[in-house]
Chain A
């Protein structure tokens, strides 16, 4: 019985692994093709079934004027916007989460849990719902097609995540530590920065990881709110999806864009195994 289970286990795991890898392999293979290789039917193995070229790859780094699809610029834009929005979200979100965990707020019938729910409910809104008003909002402020405008919008997306994770985390740090800091002469700010924060690094790392992930993968807001000046990676790549889609450069661009997060996957797994992540995610 146990043998059958083990066999099934490995089978399942391997099948799923193949499923996970499949699109990547396809993309890698496709990125080395040219027009003919693609349109004459599906082909897989380079040299055996088609002549590989580096067109798909080289064109990524040529600026548009030379017939290329420069993704370097959008790449850095994405990094900048994601990091900035994440940092601000974590900073403000952690502070708010601390307040919600430690203190009681009451404004009429609104209490702590309601305020927390308010933060978290921002995630329920589909991008579509927010995009029209945001479009007009940024337009009024003259921030359409700008990095600052986009960062503002991303903060709305990411702060709820930071608050969600950090409130849970703070609830599991004993209040008595805060109290001891107060008794030892710290005012509430000092108690937070000198005592609570140094012990919250694991939680903040988790919040940080999630903010970065969800910020990096956004497509819709960048799509609606930016045009020519500011271009983010996902938008750039989808824009290639026209009637004559250059599959090869598309695949190459896609691979380049997902590469950095593979590193993040390693980091997350490390953290997971060490047991730090588990506590924070509960």
Chain B
């Protein structure tokens, strides 16, 4: 019942590329494909759906060679970020469409459609035209259509990105609820996103992708706590994890002649040398006794302030848990939570993470 991708590659064009992707999806699980824009998430989804053919590699589903089956015969469902529905049909007809196409029994169709409409909370909207609905409602229709199909593979391409903030939060929770239930235990849900926060909230297995290559696969917790390399660390954090070059020498961690401190206990066993030092924006705090940094930019976002700082060659972003305005070139004093320091080799691989020794 699993979906297996083996060495899938697509030659790079301006829209599509995948580079030697091998993945295994188990039924009953939710997977989040996390990556930046144009990293290959949509390509991956479209290849699984059959809208794109890989130049090389294999795809097997339930033991069968998927590549020999054309799109319209694969039992997949896809929800786009642009609220795609059939404009010339009303809500009910939209949801019925795939079922009618499959020549299901009319009475059965009615039941499935009503179920789906109930699940997404659109009772009473059956005869409305698509154009009359709001963005959120249109997306729910798209979702209902996918659910009614009872597809074994459900693909979602940043489905909430065009909705407003509050709606996004609400629908995300509904997704997770919808996906529990016995039918769900036999399907594979693949959700593509650029937002690490969203990936964490969905709490499925995370597949980190960048430039068409798979960088890491793991549980949300694991990927977040132990990014396989510096690139993953950038992608899985918002703001991106601060990475600066530093040296371990003489039992000290040295960034530059001003910023250095004694090697914390958890890093004692590391060989002296040059490394990339990573620390999250949330692990940097204001400290009167800390190091002086100059403010480049101060951004207020919601109830937090993001401070972009530099001191000579060291740059970092700190998250301050209050709304406060800072002047450009103002000097602030900050300190790092040394127990949360990550060490990456110069090549980028993870050497040390605070959550694993």
- A interface list, Cβ under 8 A from B: 174, 176-177, 179-187, 190, 195, 198-199
CA distance A182 to B101 in the complex (A): 10
A22 to B165, CA, bound (A): 63
C-beta contact mask, B235-257 vs A, less than 8 Å → 1, else 0? 00000000000000000000000
B: number of interface residues (CB 8 Å)? 24
Chain B positions within 8 Å of A185 at CB level: 72-73, 98, 101-102
Give A187 to B78 CA distance when docked, in angstroms: 16
Partner of A182, one of B72, B80, B84: B72
Most chain B CB neighbours (cut-off 10 Å) among A176, A183, A195, A198: A183
Contacts A184-B72, A185-B98 known; list 19 others, CB within 8 Å.
A179-B78, A180-B84, A180-B85, A181-B97, A182-B71, A182-B72, A183-B49, A183-B71, A183-B76, A183-B77, A184-B97, A184-B98, A185-B73, A187-B70, A187-B72, A190-B72, A190-B101, A195-B88, A199-B88
Q: Which residues of A contact B97 (CB under 8 A)?
A: 181, 184
Cα separation A96 to B99 with both chains bound (whole Å): 30
A-B residue pairs, 5 tightest by C-beta: A184-B98, A185-B101, A198-B88, A182-B71, A176-B84
A174 to B87, CA, bound (A): 11
Residues on A with C-beta less than 8 A from B84 are 174, 176-177, 180
Do residues B78 and A183 form an inter-chain contact, with CB atoms below 8 A?
yes
Once A195-B86, A198-B88 are accepted as A-B contacts, the answer to whether A180 and B78 lie under 8 Å apart by CB is: yes
Residues of chain B having any CB pair with chain A under 8 Å: 46, 49-51, 70-73, 76-78, 80, 82, 84-88, 97-98, 101-102, 145, 149
Residues of A within 8 A of B46 (CB): 179
Alpha-carbon distance A195/B89, docked complex (angstroms): 9
B82 contacts A176, C-beta separation under 8 Å: yes
Task: Tell me, rounded to whole Å, the shortest Cβ–Cβ distance linking A92 to chain B.
Answer: 23
What residue in chain A is nearest B103 (Cβ atoms)? A185
| A198→B49 CA distance, assembly (Å) | 25
Contact (A186, B72) CB under 8 Å given A176-B80, A179-B51? yes
Among B50, B70, B149, contact of A184 (Cβ-Cβ < 8 Å)? B149
B86 with A182: CB separation less than 8 A: no
* CB–CB B51/A184 < 8 A: no
Q: Considering the complex, give the chain A residue whose CB is closest to the CB of B83.
A: A176
Cβ distance B115 to chain A, nearest Cβ, rounded Å: 18
Q: Contact between B101 and A184 (Cβ–Cβ < 8 Å)? A: yes
Asked if A182 contacts B149 (CB within 8 A), the reply is no
Shortest Cβ gap from B95 to chain A (Å): 10
CA distance A184 to B145 in the complex (A): 9
Kindly state the separation between the CA atoms of A174 and B76 in the bound complex, as whole angstroms.
20
- Cα–Cα distance between A177 and B88 once the two chains are bound (Å): 11
